Structure 1
């Protein structure tokens, strides 16, 4: 019986029970039939009364024995039909659920258990549907995470490859310069001229290595740093103070307008690092006599500077690592092409949308961050 499917198993169980009940009913009916006697009285003109007693038990028992096989056969046929109908009604929704779950095994998104009942079988079908929907959602999320991880790993590999290339060039140049100085080749005999150049190259190399390490640690900082309430007027005043000194020394006007009391809930170190790079770029790429402005406008924090607007074809490339436009600073003048890449990585991690566009009112560029109050 254990190997039988649910329909024949239910049918046999039901049929056996009904046959047993019919046999028991007929047996009890036969055994418990009471003996029956009949007394007949006959009246005649004779004053003597005549009475006759007849025993009918044997006669009735004979009739029951003759009818009993037909009755049991009819009851057996009815039992088979009732067992068949009952088994079919009970096992149909279960077989339907089994067929749908087999379809669910292939991850068919249209598979669904349809059982129109409010009993335990209907509840089972609803539970299976919810479980399957949850499974599909989990698989979908895992696929998305898999794509994200794959893209992230690819980005890391590309970044490390570009970083090794960028670091290789200054290291090779510095090594060649030092060897020529040691061998006293040509102009490199003048150590007073080329030692300061070597020092500057070392400083640039150290700054680039620091930026590469900072970029590689962004994922750890995003995961580990806790968020906090940041009151922007005080935060920006402290952050912009050193850049105001630098701007004054370069003859640049630095305007800071954060009078509106705005508070954001973000990781302070990461958010400050992104703003630090943006303000540093604004000051670095602004010529003497021009201005840099940092202000809050409604739900936006804007960092704006007067400069030659960046052509549209370069705007899409600026946030790639180690990208340097031909018309801007190169490696020799201090740019390493990582500033805006770091900013883009941080803002994406913090889910802060931004725009970097030419200013419509005057000649320059504006970096606008959408912040939530």
Structure 2
């Protein structure tokens, strides 16, 4: 079997609500979903969602190769771009090709990916996380009630700009999730909007009223020492790592004791997640994949590692034209038996439903405000 080519598609995810974080939000609730399909000479195709970045530079590393040699090809792609760096957007393209190769490998074996990777249980524990910074209290309650109806007992807010508002929002979550447990796990994700002392003050104030399970991305992603100091200063666990593009970037963070919960962005692919999980496991740390809507197949990898804690479940819907072999029930994800990573594409439906929408539009959450981490008084508004 040999890799012969690839093709790309774009669809959209219709969230039905504004989505974003404290850095900004997309009012339309329509986000861009890149799809990559890797082709082989035997007709088996690998499907992955994630990124179209730098595919033309990465693909020569796998063209003509046996796609079942996935980890070898992953390293070949890293080597292909080592001079210009695999960081940033390039790592997204690399992770997407990697996930497509894993899909091919599992399909060739006639196995669902979770079983091919060695998992003994198809259930993946999850927590609810609605990209909810722009939602009103009523919208917040409606959203998380839909998760509570599926037996979720833990949830993560986007926040970090106004402590009184965050406390009110946590009260909504506590009330909604109390139908399943008297002590829901509550987390806060601030998407790198603080400096160290802001983080200590804010989390300490929250912890006077909320039993915070973890604080996520409190500081800039590379601040290993700062994360370690924060972990020693608050009761909540520090969760970070989702934006680190490559295993080598975890070394200073882990060596400094800067992560209590090691995260990996789902968009970076399956091999990356597996390697991060091993690195975390060597230090007796749990691992948690972030943003499964950017790469659903990583749930299969989560099922296969011994230190998986919980996976971020952001929405109960799926992108237009995609079908997933999984169910969101019982507070997590139940993976199916279809060979491969469980993603099927209806290209005709995607073509018929095409509409504008882009996750990286200027108003969206991927543009860091100039004054982030530099505010003496924070009024909780976006963009200043």
TM > 0.5 fold call: no
TM-score (norm 1): 0.22
More strand by share: 2
TM-score (norm 2): 0.22
